[in-house]
């Protein structure tokens, strides 16, 4: 199943170190997953790594997973391999491995393919859920929400005739009320 592909079109985290952190979670998390960070991981060697926790529907301080898309492929025996594919739709942040994230700020512009977000094409908003996922909604939430501002496209070189797969993307403005 294809994973979400995220592009930071214009975000405050580009200019502020404090808006970028390392996080870790016990399960795989796609780029574009959201969570709260309230505590460092306490194990030795993880001094600057935060533990990702679930959001709520009213969460206002929300972080989004966003790591470079270096795809790890895992075989049936649990062996992991890098460099087998460049397709970003195969990328996910691996469980129990630190990954990059940034804080969503008012006015940020985020673009994503929205894979695995049901009804994203027909909904104008993305709001936090009680898990680490954004969900499509027809109205704004009461915490952080993402408002769709346009539809775009992303061409990924798949080898298919025509120059690659043209994937619809959705561009959102982050609103923190």
Partner 1 sequence: MNNLFNMVFADNASQVEQARSLMKDYMNHYFSETRGIKGSFDTTKSLEEKNATLSKLMCATVERLSGVNMSNTGISAEIIANNPNVRWASMATINSLIDFVMPTVLVNGIGTYTNVVNGGAGDSFTFDIKPNDLFTVTKAGRNKRTGEVQRGFDGTKTIIPVNHQITVGCNLYRILIGLDNFAEFVLKAIVSMEAEMRLESYNLLNTTLSALATTPSGGALKVAGFTKSSAIKLANIVKAYNNGSKPVFLGTLGALADMTAEANFRYTEDSDLFKLGRFSNYAGFDLMEIEQVAKWNDKYKLALDDEKIFVVSPAAQKLIQLGYQGSTMENASDKFDYANGQQTLTINKAWGMAVATNATAGVITLG
Question: Between residues 47 and 164, which has the closer beta carbon with respect to partner 1?
Answer: 164
The CB-of-132 to partner 1 minimum distance in angstroms stands at 23
CB distance 126 to 135 below 8 Å: yes
Interface residue with partner 1, options 140, 156, 175, 176 (CB under 8 A): 156
Which range touches partner 1 (CB under 8 A), out of 32-40, 78-86, 94-102, 119-127? 78-86
The CB-of-80 to partner 1 minimum distance in angstroms stands at 17
Which residues 7-36 are close enough to bind partner 1 by CB under 8 A?
7-10
The CB-of-5 to partner 1 minimum distance in angstroms stands at 7
CB distance 42 to 15 below 8 Å: no
Closest CA to 172 of 18, 4, 56, 54: 4
Distance CA 152, CA 171 (A): 7
Binding site residues, partner 1, CB under 8 A: 5, 7-10, 69, 84-88, 109, 154-165
């Amino acid at each position: 199943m294809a994973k979400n592909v995220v592009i930071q079109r214009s975000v405050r985290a580009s200019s502020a170190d404090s808006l970028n952190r390392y996080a870790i979670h016990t399960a795989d998390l796609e780029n574009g997953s959201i969570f709260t960070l309230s505590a460092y991981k306490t194990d030795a060697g993880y001094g600057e790594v935060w533990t990702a926790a679930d959001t709520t529907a009213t969460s206002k301080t929300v972080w989004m997973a966003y790591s470079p898309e270096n795809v790890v492929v895992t075989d049936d025996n649990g062996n992991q391999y890098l460099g087998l594919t460049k397709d970003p739709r195969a990328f996910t942040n691996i469980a129990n491995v630190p990954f990059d994230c940034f804080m969503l700020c008012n006015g940020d512009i985020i673009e994503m393919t929205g894979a695995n977000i049901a009804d994203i094409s027909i909904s104008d908003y993305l709001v936090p859920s009680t898990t680490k996922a954004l969900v499509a909604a027809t109205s704004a939430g009461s915490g952080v929400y993402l408002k769709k501002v346009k539809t775009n496209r992303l061409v990924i070189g798949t080898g298919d005739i025509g120059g690659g797969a043209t994937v619809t993307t959705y561009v959102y403005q982050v609103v923190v009320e």
